[in-house]
Amino acid sequence: MFYLSYLRSELLRRKGRTILTMLGLALGVALVIVITSLSHGLDQAQKTALNPLSSIGTDLTVTAQEEGYGGGAFANRMLETNLASLGKAGQHFSYDTFSAGTQPSFAQSQANSVSSISGVAKIATGLTLTVTHQEGKIPKITASFRTGGQQINVSGQTKRPSAADLAKMAACLAKQEKKSSSSTKTTATTGGQSSQSGSLSGQGQDQGGPGMFGGGAAMRKCMPASMKRFQKTITTRRQTLRKQVNTPQTNIKTSTYTIGGVDTSQTDMGLITKTQVSKGRFLSKKNAREALVANSYASSHKLKVGSTLSIKKTTFRVVGLVQAPLGGQSADVYVPLKQLQTLAGQKNQINVVLVRASKSSGVGAVEKKIKSALPSAQVASNKSEADQISGSLVTASNLAKSLGLALSIIVIAMAIMLAALLTLSSVAKRVREIGTLRALGWSRRLVIRQITAESLTQGVIGGVVGVGIGIVAAAVINSFNLSLSASSKVGNSTTTGGFRGAFGATQSAAQTTTSQVALHAPLAGSIILIGFALAILGGLLAGAAGAFRAAQLRPADALRQVE
């Protein structure tokens, strides 16, 4: 075909211009692809971050407030490790303690009252605890204190005896005195004293020998009934307390992580769901000793699928890695709920109820109903959780939202303008050529077709090159493993919560969890197609501009043009 060989010759023999036009379009397309896919990636990242609850199939979470509701039996419990009880000094020890942090536990049965509320489609329960793991050698320096065995005298003022009582008592004592002719004066003195103050003393029945308080028997006998009642002796139990002194902190490591007990009866709703599994599989329903580990925790602790995890001397096998949701219900490690309840000694205890409303529009109503049914409960929704999230992700996403589109439009408009200008200048330089073609008998239509085909070809090649550059650029971005942070405040507690450090190391339970959200530039086929289409559109627009100029030329004028 002559026209094709003409086109080919034209493009090849004007390489500089052709390459410039194509590169302009290619860069435009590549930039649009990168910008679009980046903002798409940001959107995705933000979606996971800003909808922490919906990602786990939940609309609302119900937790107990710090005091009340379920009783808060485990809230803010003081934990202390008796190191000496763990073994001999110098031995290696590993010890895990569980604490509830800011979410007190309550009985599992309480969840039923939530599920019976109308508008609630489904509930799941969960238990999120903080594990304090201590490991090291048992210190040698321990001290023992023997306590107990003390006698405690209780004395109290009783009702003053009446004159009749006293007279009666005196008569009785006189009678007793006569009976025991060899009695000592001490007894009489004691008796006199007691008549004055009513002071009662005793050392326990066994120890009260007649030799010491010989008159005790007479006194007891003659005392009025109202006074006898107060006679009491208390002896504390003997016990030995061991306590480490000057605890050597250096070789004992304390680390904390959060652990979630997952209701494994459901896979689409719970503290973690099947959709968050990024590697491996979800927990089986068999209440097995299996664990899921959050990606961030796995990478910092070098855990992978198949690794084992020891929690309170129980071995769990890591069956999957998960992308933990942001927000209050996230944890580092997930195990079946029953396993955790057993380990933590909290049988049938939970601290969160996840609620799914039957209609998404009914979430607000359900939230109100739960609040009025359980006034002491805290109800959180996606929105309230999302409001707590901040960080570079949110900033970047907002930026991408406001700038991405504008930037894309500017970039592609500039690319098209460049192509159009180059085509126009090419046409201007080819005016005589166009005139010649017209003189040779080329119709206007044919000339326009030829010029448009040229710039369309540049558009197609530019598009292919641009898509290539875009794909490579997106791959480069992905290979950098860029991450953005999203922070979420857990709970709304104002207190610093549970005291977990056995060695005086206190950590705040109301903390800010920061999650690194990986930034990807996902390349959707549609983005590539759009980029390609833009390049072709650019080529066509440029060609149309050139062709319009060419079509306006009268052949005679075109020929008159001096080069």
Partner 1 sequence: MSTPLYELRGATRSFQMGNSTIKAVDDINVTIDKEELIALEGPSGSGKTTLLQLLGALDRPTSGQVFFEGRDLASLSDGELAELRLRSFGFIFQQFNLLSTLTALQNVEAGLAPLGVSAGELRERSLAMLAEVGLRDRAFHLPGQMSGGEQQRVAIARALLAEPHVVLADEPTGNLDTKSGADVIALLTDLAARHGTTIIVATHDAGLAARAPRRLTMKDGKLATDSKKTRAAAKKR
The distance of closest approach from Cβ of residue 540 to partner 1 in the complex, given in angstroms and rounded to an integer, is: 22
Q: Tell me the backbone φ, ψ of residue 317, rounded to 5 degrees.
A: -100, 130
Measured from the CB atom, the residue of 206 and 563 that comes closer to partner 1 is: 563
Which one of residues 243, 338, 432, 549 is an interface residue with partner 1 (CB under 8 A)?
432
The distance of closest approach from Cβ of residue 446 to partner 1 in the complex, given in angstroms and rounded to an integer, is: 6
Measured from the CB atom, the residue of 100 and 434 that comes closer to partner 1 is: 434
| Contact stretch for partner 1 (CB under 8 A) within 39-47, 441-449, 481-489, 527-535 | 441-449
Is residue 425 a contact residue for partner 1 (CB under 8 A)? no
The distance of closest approach from Cβ of residue 443 to partner 1 in the complex, given in angstroms and rounded to an integer, is: 4
Is residue 242 a contact residue for partner 1 (CB under 8 A)? no
Measured from the CB atom, the residue of 281 and 560 that comes closer to partner 1 is: 560
Is residue 428 a contact residue for partner 1 (CB under 8 A)? no
Rounded (to 5) percent helix, strand, coil in the chain: 45, 20, 35
Is residue 9 a contact residue for partner 1 (CB under 8 A)? yes
Q: Which amino acid is at 152?
A: I
Scan residues 10-29 and list those touching partner 1 (CB under 8 A): 10, 13-14
The distance of closest approach from Cβ of residue 12 to partner 1 in the complex, given in angstroms and rounded to an integer, is: 8
The distance of closest approach from Cβ of residue 459 to partner 1 in the complex, given in angstroms and rounded to an integer, is: 20
Provide the CA 222 distance to its chain's centre, in angstroms: 74
| CA gap 75, 66 in Å, rounded | 7
Shortest CA distance to 427 belongs to which of 551, 556, 557?
551
| Contact stretch for partner 1 (CB under 8 A) within 79-87, 295-303, 332-340, 554-562 | 554-562
DSSP state of 279: E
DSSP assignments along 46-75, one per residue: HHHHH-TTGGGT-SEEEEE-SSSTT--TTT
Residue 85's DSSP bridge partners are none
| CA gap 311, 315 in Å, rounded | 6
Question: How many of the chain's residues bind partner 1 (CB under 8 A)?
Answer: 29
| CA gap 64, 67 in Å, rounded | 8
Q: How many CB atoms sit inside 10 A of residue 132's CB?
A: 22
The distance of closest approach from Cβ of residue 9 to partner 1 in the complex, given in angstroms and rounded to an integer, is: 5
| C-beta of residue 300 within 8 angstroms of C-beta of residue 328 | no
Q: Which amino acid is at 271?
A: L
Is residue 549 a contact residue for partner 1 (CB under 8 A)? no
Residues 6+ apart with CB under 8 A from 146: 238, 239, 240
The distance of closest approach from Cβ of residue 427 to partner 1 in the complex, given in angstroms and rounded to an integer, is: 14
Measured from the CB atom, the residue of 430 and 500 that comes closer to partner 1 is: 430
Measured from the CB atom, the residue of 90 and 441 that comes closer to partner 1 is: 441
The distance of closest approach from Cβ of residue 420 to partner 1 in the complex, given in angstroms and rounded to an integer, is: 21
| C-beta of residue 238 within 8 angstroms of C-beta of residue 150 | no
The distance of closest approach from Cβ of residue 3 to partner 1 in the complex, given in angstroms and rounded to an integer, is: 7
| Contact stretch for partner 1 (CB under 8 A) within 194-202, 342-350, 410-418, 439-447 | 439-447
Scan residues 255-294 and list those touching partner 1 (CB under 8 A): none
| Contact stretch for partner 1 (CB under 8 A) within 62-70, 137-145, 221-229, 429-437 | 429-437
| Contact stretch for partner 1 (CB under 8 A) within 8-16, 245-253, 288-296, 533-541 | 8-16
Which one of residues 437, 484, 519, 527 is an interface residue with partner 1 (CB under 8 A)?
437
Which one of residues 133, 444, 489, 549 is an interface residue with partner 1 (CB under 8 A)?
444
Q: How many CB atoms sit inside 10 A of residue 25's CB?
A: 32
The distance of closest approach from Cβ of residue 560 to partner 1 in the complex, given in angstroms and rounded to an integer, is: 8
Q: Which amino acid is at 142?
A: T
Rg (CA), the chain: 43
The distance of closest approach from Cβ of residue 563 to partner 1 in the complex, given in angstroms and rounded to an integer, is: 8
Residue 513's DSSP bridge partners are 488
Q: Is 409 exposed, middle or buried (0-12, 13-18, 19+ CB in 10 A)?
A: exposed
Q: Is 478 exposed, middle or buried (0-12, 13-18, 19+ CB in 10 A)?
A: middle
Which one of residues 213, 442, 499, 503 is an interface residue with partner 1 (CB under 8 A)?
442
Residue 261's DSSP bridge partners are 127, 335
Which sign does the torsion angle of CA 320, 326, 331, 335 carry?
negative
Which one of residues 135, 165, 177, 433 is an interface residue with partner 1 (CB under 8 A)?
433
Is residue 299 a contact residue for partner 1 (CB under 8 A)? no
Measured from the CB atom, the residue of 9 and 109 that comes closer to partner 1 is: 9
Measured from the CB atom, the residue of 130 and 426 that comes closer to partner 1 is: 426
| C-beta of residue 517 within 8 angstroms of C-beta of residue 484 | yes
The distance of closest approach from Cβ of residue 455 to partner 1 in the complex, given in angstroms and rounded to an integer, is: 15
DSSP assignments along 456-505, one per residue: HHHHHHHHHHHHHHHHHHHHHHHHTT-EEEEEEE-S---S------TTS-
In whole angstroms, how far apart are CA 79 and each of 30, 75, 261, 289, 503? Answer: 59, 11, 21, 26, 10
Which one of residues 210, 306, 441, 504 is an interface residue with partner 1 (CB under 8 A)?
441
The distance of closest approach from Cβ of residue 559 to partner 1 in the complex, given in angstroms and rounded to an integer, is: 7
Q: Which residues bind partner 1 (CB under 8 A)?
A: 1-3, 5-6, 9-10, 13-14, 432-433, 435-446, 554-556, 559-560, 563
